[in-house]
Structure 1
Amino acid sequence: MMTSDATVERALAAAVGALQRRQDPAGYWKGEFETSLIGEAADVMLRHFLRLPDDGSVAATARTILAGQSPTGGWAAHHKGPDELLLSVFCYVALRLAGHDTDEPELRAAAAAIRAGGGIEAVDNPTMLAWLALIGLWPWRDIPLIPPELVLLPPRCPGSIYQIGAAARGIVVANSLLMARRPVTPVGFTLTELFASPGSRRRLPRPRAARIATTLSHWYARRPIGFLRRRAVRKAARWLVGTQERDGSWGGNWPQTANVVVGLDSAGFPQDHPVIKAAMAALDRYVVDRGGQRRLEMWTSVLMDTALAMSAAAMTGDPGARSAAGRAVPWLLDNQVTELGDWAVLTKDPVPGGWPYEFANDANPDSDDTAFAVAALRRLHPRGTHAAVDRACERAVRWMLSQQCADGGWAAFEPLRWQLPGRAALARIGFLEAPSADITGHVLEALGADGRGHAPAAQRGIAWLRRTQHPDGSWPGWWACYHLHGTSAAVTGLTACGVPGSDPAVVRACEWITAHQQPDGGWGEDIRALRDPAWLGRGDSNPSQTSWALLALIAAGRADSEAVHAGLGFLTRTQRGDGDWDEPWHTWVVHHDGLYWRDSMLRLVYPVMAMAAYRAATGGPAAGGPSIAGAADGGGTEHR
C-alpha cells in the first residue's frame, strides 16, 4: 500500500517536534543507554569487594534485577532472548549478596535455569569469572593471569598494551594489578546449588593452548622476578593514574572505571586517595534512579546521539530544527579531542582531532563518532561558511586518515596492528577490532560530506568495501546488528563518495535489503544473527532498522520504490502520539559475546533521517525550506 507524502510529512513534523523537545539546554542530545543487567550485578559485587557501607543501593539494585528476571527463571541478554548463562549467574550472585535466600521462589527458579543451561561449571569467560574470584566464589587457579610486566614491553613489541584494542587497554592494565595480588573479599556462602553435576568443579579451559597459557601464567605468578614485578606494578599504577579522565572516570564508562578502581585497590591505593574518590564519584554519575529501582548506564552515548540528532535536524530542512542543531555546534566543537592519547603511540605523525563516544574519553576518540560529527557539521555548515567548523573538520579528517587500516578499511578505534591465531575470538570480547563495513561506510560518508569523496584514502576505502562484500550482496557490521547495519552503512558511504546507484555492488546490496523486508513493510534483524546465520536479516520489524534500510535504498536512488513506500508506511503506522517510537529491541553491540545495548534517542533520530531523506529525494522542501514546526505543534500521528 502506497504511503502518501502528506502522511509522511505529518509524521516527520511530529518526530521533529519530539526531537526538539529532547534537546538538553546545554545543546547536546542524549538518550538512555540500556544493556542487560550484567552491570547492575557487577556493581553489587564491586560494593561488596570494596566493603562499602550499606546505603540502600544494593537493595535497590536487587529490585531492578528481580524485575528483569525472565519467566523461565534466568536473565536474558537481549529483548525476547533466551536465558544467558553468565548473566544469570551474575544476577543470582548479586541477589545472594543483597540478602536473598536460596529458598525464595525467584532464586530457586534462577538456580534451576542455570543448571538447565549447563550449570556454573559451563561458564567459560575468564575476564568475567575474575569478578567471582574477587569475592571467593571461583578459584583463581582456573583463570589465566595477566602479568603486569606487559607494561614494560616496548609499544611495538607483540604483547605490549599498545598492541591491544583501545577499548580493552585500561581493563587489561587494571586486571594485571589485581591478578598480581589476587585479592579476595569472602562472601560467606557457596554456589553449590548452581552446579549441574553435584560435586563437579571448574576445569581448566579445554583448548590446549588455553590450558598451557593458564598453567604458565600461574607458574610465573608464583615465581615472579622480584625487581621486574615491583617495577611493573609501579608503572602500571602510574599509567592508570595518568590516563584518568577529567571527570574521574577511565574511558568515560562504568566498566573500565570499575575495573581500574579494583586494580588500584589491589595495588594499595586507599579509598580516601584523591584518584579513588574522583573515580567513585564518577561511578555514581552512571546511576539512574527509577522510583525505588537502581540501574546503570554503563556508557553514555552523548556524542553519537548529538551528532546523529544534528544530522537528522539538518536533513529536515526545517528552520526550527536547524536552529536547534546549530545550538549543538558549540558543544560539539568544545568536546573535540585536541590532545594526544593512547591512539597516538603507534600512529605516524599523530594529529589530534577525533571525537569520543562519551562525555569524557580523551584517551581514545573513535572513527565512528568522529565521522558522525564531521557529517553533522558539514550538513549544517558546508566548507567555507563557518571558520571554526572548517578548522574542526580539517583536524578531524586528518585524524581519521591517520587511523585508516593498511588494507583500506577503518575500525572504530585503532588500526589492527597484529595478526594472531584466535584473533577473531579476541575481537569478539573487545580485545581487538578489525576494520568493518559499518565504520568504513560511516567514514566514507563523512569524507563525502567534507568534499573528499574522490581523495585517495576514500578510494581505498571504497575498494575495501568492494573486496569484502558478501556474495549475497550484504556486508556484516560490527557495532550494530548486523548485516542490515553493515549493508546500510556501506551503501550510504559508497553513494556519498560518488558511487552511483547503478553500480553492481550497490545494486546487489539493495537487492539483499529488499529481499529481507518483512510482510509488515518494516525491517528487523534479531541480535541472534551475530551467532546464528538463520537470523541474518530476520527479526521483528523496528523503527531503527527499518530506517537503516530506507536510508540505503533512498541513497541508491530508489526513493519511489514499492519497498521504500512500504517501509515509510511501517514508520507512520507505528509512531506514537508524541512523535516518538517504541523500540525494546537491542540492536547495538558492545561485545559480540553477549553484551548488547539500545538507545532511546536513536529510535527517534533514524526515522527522522529516513523520512527527511525521502522528502529531499522526492522533491520535498530542501534544507532551509518551509518550516514544519507548525505541524509539529499539533502532535504526532495516531498510534495504530
Structure 2
Amino acid sequence: MLDVMDSAATSEIDPGQLDRVVGRAHQALARRQDSDGHWVFELEADATIPAEYILLEHFLNRIDDATEQKIGIYLRRIQGEHGGWPLYYGGKFDISASVKAYFALKCLGDDVAAPHMRRAREAILDHGGAERSNVFTRFQLALFGEAPWHATPVMPVELMLLPRSAFFSVWNMSYWSRTVIAPLLVLAALKPVAVNPRGVHVQELFVTPPDQVRDWIRGPYRSVWGRAFKVLDQVLRPATKLIPSSTHRRAIDAAVKFIELRLNGTDGLGAIYPAMANTVMMYRALGVPDTDHRAATAWEAVQALLVDHEDEIYCQPCVSPIWDTGLAGHAMMEAASGPAGVDPGATKAGLDKAAEWLRDRQILDVKGDWAINCPDLEPGGWAFQYNNDYYPDVDDTAVVGMLLHRQNDPANAEALERARKWIVGMQSSNGGWGAFDVDNNKELLNYIPFADHGALLDPPTVDVAARCISFLAQLGNNEDRPVIERGLQFLRDEQEKDGSWFGRWGTNYIYGTWSVLCALNAAGVSHDDPMVVRAVEWLRSVQRPDGGWGEGCESYEDGPHGIYKEGLPSQTAWAVLGLMAAGRRDDPATVRGIAWLTTHQDENGEWDEQPYNAVGFPKVFYLRYHGYRLFFPLMALARYRNLGISNTRHVAFGF
C-alpha cells in the first residue's frame, strides 16, 4: 500500500514544472550575486537596535535628522497591536524593546499624546514600568541619567585583569559577551552622561520614580544560584570603592588595549552592533576626539550596518556575507548539478568567483580569542562577517568547507586542510562544538545578575556540531573518524524525547532536526537507525495539512515544537531536506512539501517570508535572515529533482 501511495504522490509533481521552478529560483539567486563573487542579504532583528542607534546619536549629539526620521517610520510600522514592540514578527509584548523604542521615538519628537505613544506607554506601565526592563536597557537608561547607576549590576572594570583561571574572567564568557562587556565596563567605571541635546527624558515610563526603586535586580532567577549571586552583588557594591585608583586605571587601560587589538578595520569590535556602539561611547567618555582614527573607525563600523529602503531605515545587528555566500553557493551548485542542471557553465564561473572570494577571507594568520583554550592550534576558520579575524566560527567554516570541497578544485586543497585541522581542534570535551570557543560552558555564569538574558556562554550545540560532523564526514579522512564518532554520540545524547533536536541558531526544532539528519546521513548512519526513524516520524507529525512546515519563535518560549500558524519557505525546505537525507525522497510527506514550495514561488522566482527564522539568544534576541527564503527552497527543490534522476538515492553531502 505504501508503494502505491508513494507512486501516486510522486506523480503529482510535474517534472517540467519542477524544472521551471528551479530555473526561476536559480536566476533569482544569481541576480543577487555581487560582482566580486559573494552574496550578502539583510539581517534584521527587532526594534531594539534601530532604537539604540537613535539613542547613540543623541548620546553623542551626532544627530542625522533625515536618517532618524526614516528609522522612526520603521519603528512605528513594527509596533505591535498590544501597544509595545515584540522581539519577532507577530510576537508578544517585550518591555525592554518597548522602552527603547518609545525613548527613541520621543527623541525624534513624537508627541507623547499621540495614539501610538500613549498605547506604548500604557503597555509599558501595565507590565511593571521601565524599572522592570533588562540589564542592557537599564545601562542605556543610566547613560542618559534616567536611572541611577546602581540600577545596573556590579561589573567592575577590574574584571579585565582576571586571568583565564578565575571564575569571573571575561575569558570564560562567550565571544559576544566578551566584546560587549569590555567597553561597557569602561562606561560603567566612568559613568558618562549623554549629551542629549534635546533634553529628552522618559520618567513617565516608571511605575515607581527611579530614586525610590528599592530593588532593581529581580531576576529572572532560574535557580537558587541567581539569588546567591544577587547577595554577592550587594556585597561587592561597596567593596569596589576600596579598589586602588592605580588598579582602576590599569584595568581601564587593559580594556582599551583589548578593544583596540580587535577593532577589525571597518567592521568594528566583534563586528556586532552592541560592542561597536559601546566602543563609540567609550571613546567619547575617554575624551578621544571623534576625528581620532580609532573613534572614527568605530563610528564608521556602526554606520555600515544601516539599511536604507528609501522610505525607511533600520540598523542591522551585524552582516552575514560569509554565511550567505556559503549557503547560496550550495544552492546554486545543487541547481546546476546533474543532467538537468541549470546553466552549469555560468554557475561554475560564478561559484569560482565565490570560492576565490572565500579563500581570500580565510583567517590564517590571527590567533583569535579561541586560542586561549587551544594555544597550539593553528588558525584556519572563517568568520561570519567581512572582517572579524579574532572571532571565526566553526559553523561558517564547515559550511564554506563543504562548498569548497564539492567544487573539487585543487585550488581549494590548502584551505580545506587548514579548515579541517581547525575544526578538529575546536571539538569540545563532550564531543560537540560551540560556535566560537572550546568548552565555553561554565553554566553558573548564566546566573549572575548581569546575565539576565541567560546567554553569557557559547556551549556546544547540536546544529553547530551537526555541521562540523557533516564537513569532516564529507572530507572522508580516516584519521577523523574518532572525532566524528564522539560527535555522533553527542547528537544521540541530545535528541529530544519526541525525536527532534533543538536548534540553537535557527528556528528551531525543524532547523535542529534537519541539521542532524544531514550529518547522520553524511556520516553513514543507517536510515533505519532508531534515532533517524524517530526524527522522521516527528517531522511527519508536524507537517501542516497544506503540505508545508512552519515553526514560530514561540517554541523558544515553551511553545509547541515545530508548529506555526502558516507554512514557511525556509522551514518547509529544511524539513524536506531532512527527510531526503534520511532516505525518504519518495515519502508522501516529502512530495507534499515539494509541492508546497512549487506553488508558493512568486513571479520573480522567490518566496515571501516575514516571520523570523533564526535566533541570537533564545527568549531575548531573534533574527530574520532575508536570504533564507531564497537559497533553502532552491536547495531543497534541486536536491529533490537530482535524486529523482540519479542512479543512487544516497546523498553524502552535509546539506
Give the TM interval when normalised to the shorter protein: over 0.9
2:61–2:195 Cα contact (<8 Å) kept: no
**CA distance change for structure 1 residues 417 and 293 in 2, over 3 Å: closer, same or farther?**
closer
Give 1:573 deviation, angstroms: 0.9
Is 1:194 the counterpart of 2:221 in the alignment? no
2:350: which partner in 1? Answer: 324
Give 1:418 deviation, angstroms: 4.6
Give 1:535 deviation, angstroms: 4.8
**Residues of 2 paired with 1:97 and 1:315: CA distance?**
49
1:142–1:214 Cα contact (<8 Å) kept: no
**Residues of 1 paired with 2:611 and 2:351: CA distance?**
27
1:205: which partner in 2? Answer: 217
**Residues of 1 paired with 2:278 and 2:195: CA distance?**
18
Is 1:160 the counterpart of 2:157 in the alignment? no
1:373: which partner in 2? Answer: 400
2:418: which partner in 1? Answer: 395
2:278: which partner in 1? Answer: 259
Residue correspondence of structure 1 range 20-169 to structure 2 within 5 A:
20-123=30-133, 125-169=134-178
**Residues of 2 paired with 1:161 and 1:599: CA distance?**
29
Of 583, 590, 609, 1:564 maps to 590
2:193: which partner in 1? Answer: 184
Say which is worse superposed, 486-495 or 6-15, in terms of deviation.
6-15
1:543–1:571 Cα contact (<8 Å) kept: yes
Amino acid at match of 1:111: R
Report the TM-score when normalising by structure 1: 0.92
Report the TM-score when normalising by structure 2: 0.90
2:107–2:200 Cα contact (<8 Å) kept: no
1:421: which partner in 2? Answer: 444
Deviations along 1:540-596, one digit per CA (max 9) or x if unpaired, are 210101111111100111000100010001101110011100000101011213211
**Residues of 2 paired with 1:332 and 1:118: CA distance?**
49
Of 431, 434, 438, 1:408 maps to 431
SS in 2 for 1:56: helix
**Residues of 1 paired with 2:502 and 2:509: CA distance?**
4
SS in 1 for 2:136: helix
1:458: which partner in 2? Answer: 484
Is 1:433 the counterpart of 2:446 in the alignment? no
Amino acid at match of 1:195: F
Of 276, 281, 291, 1:272 maps to 291
1:526–1:540 Cα contact (<8 Å) kept: no
Give 1:196 deviation, angstroms: 4.4
2:443–2:457 Cα contact (<8 Å) kept: no
1:517: which partner in 2? Answer: 543
SS in 2 for 1:589: strand
Residue correspondence of structure 1 range 359-370 to structure 2 within 5 A:
359-370=386-397
Residue correspondence of structure 1 range 226-237 to structure 2 within 5 A:
226-237=245-256
1:245: which partner in 2? Answer: 264
Amino acid at match of 1:413: F
Of 514, 520, 524, 1:494 maps to 520
**Residues of 1 paired with 2:29 and 2:17: CA distance?**
18
**CA distance change for structure 1 residues 272 and 212 in 2, over 3 Å: closer, same or farther?**
farther
**Residues of 1 paired with 2:400 and 2:565: CA distance?**
30
1:441–1:492 Cα contact (<8 Å) kept: yes
Give 1:189 deviation, angstroms: 4.6
**CA distance change for structure 1 residues 8 and 248 in 2, over 3 Å: closer, same or farther?**
closer
**In angstroms, what is the RMSD of aligned CA positions?**
2.1
**Residues of 1 paired with 2:646 and 2:350: CA distance?**
21
**Residues of 2 paired with 1:233 and 1:477: CA distance?**
38
Amino acid at match of 1:183: P
Is 1:11 the counterpart of 2:3 in the alignment? no
**Residues of 2 paired with 1:482 and 1:472: CA distance?**
14
**Residues of 2 paired with 1:420 and 1:505: CA distance?**
28
**Residues of 2 paired with 1:347 and 1:259: CA distance?**
28
**Residues of 2 paired with 1:420 and 1:473: CA distance?**
26
**Residues of 1 paired with 2:502 and 2:425: CA distance?**
24
SS in 2 for 1:156: coil
**CA distance change for structure 1 residues 216 and 190 in 2, over 3 Å: closer, same or farther?**
farther
1:309: which partner in 2? Answer: 328
**Residues of 2 paired with 1:470 and 1:528: CA distance?**
17
Give the % identical residues. 32
1:284: which partner in 2? Answer: 303
**Residues of 2 paired with 1:562 and 1:202: CA distance?**
60
Amino acid at match of 1:155: R
Give 1:428 deviation, angstroms: 5.2
**Residues of 2 paired with 1:373 and 1:424: CA distance?**
35
Say which is worse superposed, 147-156 or 470-479, in terms of deviation.
147-156
**Residues of 1 paired with 2:452 and 2:112: CA distance?**
37
Residue correspondence of structure 1 range 567-582 to structure 2 within 5 A:
567-582=593-608
**Residues of 2 paired with 1:586 and 1:355: CA distance?**
25
Amino acid at match of 1:157: A
SS in 2 for 1:229: helix
**CA distance change for structure 1 residues 73 and 33 in 2, over 3 Å: closer, same or farther?**
same
1:637: which partner in 2? Answer: none
1:609: which partner in 2? Answer: 635
SS in 2 for 1:255: helix
**Residues of 2 paired with 1:502 and 1:172: CA distance?**
47
Structure 2 gap ranges (5+): 1-8, 219-225, 649-655
SS in 2 for 1:288: strand
SS in 1 for 2:622: strand
**Residues of 2 paired with 1:346 and 1:64: CA distance?**
42
Say which is worse superposed, 203-212 or 429-438, in terms of deviation.
203-212
2:29–2:328 Cα contact (<8 Å) kept: yes
1:237–1:267 Cα contact (<8 Å) kept: no
Amino acid at match of 1:556: A
**Residues of 1 paired with 2:645 and 2:447: CA distance?**
46
Amino acid at match of 2:145: G
2:569: which partner in 1? Answer: 543
Give 1:55 deviation, angstroms: 4.6
**Residues of 1 paired with 2:332 and 2:384: CA distance?**
20
How many residue pairs match? The answer is: 618
**Residues of 1 paired with 2:517 and 2:607: CA distance?**
25
Deviations along 1:449-497, one digit per CA (max 9) or x if unpaired, are 2224862111110111111112221110101111111111011011111
